Amino acid sequence: MASYQSYLENHQDRFLAELIEFLRIPSISALPERAEDVACAGQWVAQRLTAAGVENVEVLPTDGHPVVYGDWLHAPDRPTIMIYGHFDVQPVDPVELWTNPPFEPTLVGDRVYARGASDDKGNMLAPIVAVEALLKGEGEAPVNLKFCFEGQEEIGSPHIPDFMPQHSERFACDLAVSADGGQFSETEPILLMSLRGVCGLQIDVHGASSDLHSGLHGGRIQNPIHALTQILGSLRRADGRIAVEGFYDDVVELTSDERAAVALVPFDGDRYLKELGLEEAFGEPGYTNRERGWVRPTLEMNGIWGGFQEEGIKTVLPNSAHAKITCRLVADQDPARIIALLAEHIAQHAPPGVSVEVTPLSILGRPYSISADHWGNRAAAAVLKEMYGREPYQTRSGGSIPITGVFREQLGVDTISFGFGIEDENFHAPDEFFRLASFRKSQVAYCKLLAELGASAPPK
Predicted local confidence at residue 170, as pLDDT: 98
> Average of pLDDT values for 153-181?
96
> Average of pLDDT values for 378-392?
98
Residues 53 and 132: their CA atoms lie apart, in Å, by: 6
pLDDT in tens, 261-286: 999 999 999 999 999 999 999 999 99
Contacts 24+ apart (CB under 8 A), 255-264: 258/193, 259/291, 261/193, 261/372, 261/393, 261/394, 262/288, 262/290, 262/291, 262/294, 262/295, 262/394, 262/395, 262/396, 263/288, 263/290, 264/393, 264/394
Contacts of 105 (CB under 8 A, 6+ apart): 19, 20, 23, 24, 112, 113, 114, 117
pLDDT in tens, 28-82: 999 999 999 999 999 999 999 999 999 999 999 999 999 999 999 999 999 999 9
pLDDT in tens, 428-458: 999 999 999 999 999 999 999 999 999 988 8
Q: What proportion of the chain, given as a percentage, has pLDDT over 70? A: 100
Look at residue 250 and tell me whether its pLDDT is greater than 80.
yes
What domains appear along the chain, each with residue ranges and CATH number? 4-195+368-456 (3.40.630.10), 197-251+297-360 (3.30.70.360)
Task: Specify whether the CB–CB gap between 363 and 333 falls below 8 A.
Answer: no
Closest by CA to 322, choosing from 242, 231, 240, is: 231
Predicted local confidence at residue 302, as pLDDT: 95
Averaged pLDDT of the chain: 96
For the chain, give me the number of helices (H) and strands (E)?
14, 18
Look at residue 362 and tell me whether its pLDDT is greater than 90.
no
| pLDDT band for position 395 (cuts 50, 70, 90) | very high
| pLDDT band for position 307 (cuts 50, 70, 90) | very high
Task: Specify whether the CB–CB gap between 86 and 127 falls below 8 A.
Answer: no
Closest by CA to 228, choosing from 250, 199, 206, is: 206
DSSP string, 4-23: HHHHHHHTHHHHHHHHHHHH
- Partners of 147 in the beta sheet? 70, 83
Distances (CA, A) of 173 to 16, 77, 268: 30, 13, 40
| pLDDT band for position 2 (cuts 50, 70, 90) | confident
Look at residue 460 and tell me whether its pLDDT is greater than 80.
no
Predicted local confidence at residue 298, as pLDDT: 97
Predicted local confidence at residue 205, as pLDDT: 98
Closest by CA to 61, choosing from 94, 95, 92, 38, is: 38
Whole-structure pTM value: 0.91
Look at residue 128 and tell me whether its pLDDT is greater than 90.
yes
Predicted local confidence at residue 363, as pLDDT: 78
Predicted local confidence at residue 457, as pLDDT: 85
Contacts 24+ apart (CB under 8 A), 159-164: 159/62, 159/63, 159/64, 159/65, 160/62, 160/67, 160/402, 160/403, 160/406, 161/406, 161/410, 162/62, 162/63, 163/60, 163/62, 163/63, 163/67, 164/406, 164/407, 164/410, 164/411
Predicted local confidence at residue 365, as pLDDT: 86
